[in-house]
Amino acid sequence: MKAVADALDGEIPVTAKIRLGFSDRRLAVACAQATEAGGAARLVVHGRTRDEGYRPPAHWEWIAKIRHRVSLPVVANGDIWTLEDYWKARTLSGCHDVMLGRSALADPWLAPRIRHWQRTGERLADTTWAMRASVLKQYAHRQRQQLPKKVVVSLVKQWLAQMRQGNAEANLHFQLVKRITDLDTLLESLVVSTGITEPA
């Protein structure tokens, strides 16, 4: 941390990201303090140890323990999938800011939804399949400028696989396209109706 921060000499803020530890949390606070001593401008804490992998829950209350022992801004990360999760993570960690990982792929509108809620107290409508399909198409369009079509097919399927967790319409589309190997056929299949009626 110190080597990078010293090399940049304050020109570019250096941020750090840690988990709570490797097998246990005994060094969580010490590691956070070390990033601060090394010159980190901001610290993201993923509220799990390495051994906990991605197993829920993320321990947001541990992020608060860290936050109380450092002076740099701390960002909470781990298992924020919904507005409610955001609120709980914020309440338990005391952090104003959060980082989204898998949920940013599962629902690309979660971040704008959180921001809108912060600003207005209003809840934006759920993300529809049409919105998801349009972002997948944009993604494919950009990637195909520089990558072979078969690679783009695989990338689109990977993203769709992230979206299908917890979303029935995305799951049905995943089943529909998972054996398709041609990019244009795949993209056309994204707009096929699965018969699921979504909320307006």
Ligand X SMILES: Cc1cc2nc3c(=O)[nH]c(=O)nc-3n(C[C@H](O)[C@H](O)[C@H](O)COP(=O)(O)O)c2cc1C
Residues that bind ligand X (CB under 6 A): 17, 46, 77-80, 100-103
Q: 34 or 176, CB closer to ligand X? A: 34
* Helix pair angle (110-120, 83-93), 10° resolution: 70
The candidate with the shortest Cα–Cα distance to 58, out of 28, 36, 79, 85, is: 79
Minimum CB–partner distance for residue 148 and ligand X (Å): 21
42 alpha-carbon distance from chain centroid? 18
Least Cβ distance, residue 103 to ligand X (angstroms): 5
Give start and end residues of each alpha helix (H) in the chain.
2-8, 28-37, 60-69, 83-93, 102-106, 110-120, 129-144, 149-163, 168-177, 183-189
Cβ neighbourhood burial of 33 (10 Å; 0-12, 13-18, 19+): middle
Looking at the chain, how many residues does it have? 200
> Among all residues, whose Cβ is closest to ligand X?
101
CB of 56 to ligand X, least distance (A): 8
Query: Which of residues 99 and 176 has its CB atom nearest to ligand X in the complex?
Result: 99
- In the complex with ligand X, which residue's Cβ is closer, 155 or 176? 155
- Closest to ligand X by CB, 54 or 185: 54
Minimum CB separation of residue 130 from ligand X in Å reads 24
- Residue whose CB is less far from ligand X, 109 or 189: 109
The CB-of-24 to ligand X minimum distance in angstroms stands at 19
Name the residue among 61, 104, 49, 97 with its Cα closest to residue 81: 104
**Distance (Å, rounded) from C-alpha 112 to C-alpha 109?**
5
Q: How far is the CB of 54 from ligand X (least distance, A)?
A: 6
- When the beta carbons of 69 and 102 are compared against ligand X, the nearer one is 102
